[in-house]
Amino acid sequence: MGKFELMALPYAPEALEPVISRETIAFHHGKHLAAYVNNLNGLLEGNPMADLALEEIVCQATGGILNNAGQILNHELYFGQFTAPKADNQPVGKVAEAIVRDFGSFEAFKEAFQKAGATLFGSGWVWLSADKDGKLVITQETNAANPVQKGLKPLLTFDVWEHAYYLDYQNRRPDHLAALWQIIDWQVIEKRFG
């Protein structure tokens, strides 16, 4: 036990099938994310950073504290953005307008986002974030990095660590990235965009 707790999923473990299997959720959420939470709580014992919010820790920490805090923040945003699969799932509201404004079309955005995820070498994350002026940007973040470290507001992320997809897609990362659009809860992304 410690300051941070494993987030509860806002859906049943099988709710994202066939895009993400119940088995992947069990490992990814129940083992990987749980380990980051336990590790961070242990690392923060007696540390002055223990009083900080998670985003503040991510922006200030280094080493093991950053790695575990970053992974908790990344995974909470990741797992919190999904819903049951929908055919032809599309963004809504202001975020939909901003995607068209900044990328030309939703299809052009999807293509650029998937390419960024497919070409990220090694482990990490691809992000859609907003800068201080509300302009949308795509970034590749390695390991446990998060766009908040660059002063950006993270909106949407695809996890390209192998544990996020290997049980379901083996080494077919691009197929996994293409399938994730079916389960994005665009109302969550709209709320994050604010």
* 75 annotated as belonging to a binding site for a ligand: yes
**DSSP 3-state assignment of 154?**
strand
Interatomic CA distance for residues 164 and 27, integer angstroms = 9
* 29 annotated as belonging to a binding site for a ligand: no
Backbone angles phi, psi at 32, to 5 degrees: -65, -55
Closest CA to 110 of 130, 90, 92: 90
* 28 annotated as belonging to a binding site for a ligand: yes
Name the DSSP letter for residue 8: P
Instruction: Give the ranges where the chain is alpha helix by DSSP (H).
Output: 22-27, 34-44, 54-60, 63-79, 93-103, 106-119, 166-169, 173-180, 186-193
* 131 annotated as belonging to a binding site for a ligand: no
Residue numbers in the known binding site for Mn(2+) are: 28, 75, 159, 163
Annotated binding site: 28, 75, 159, 163
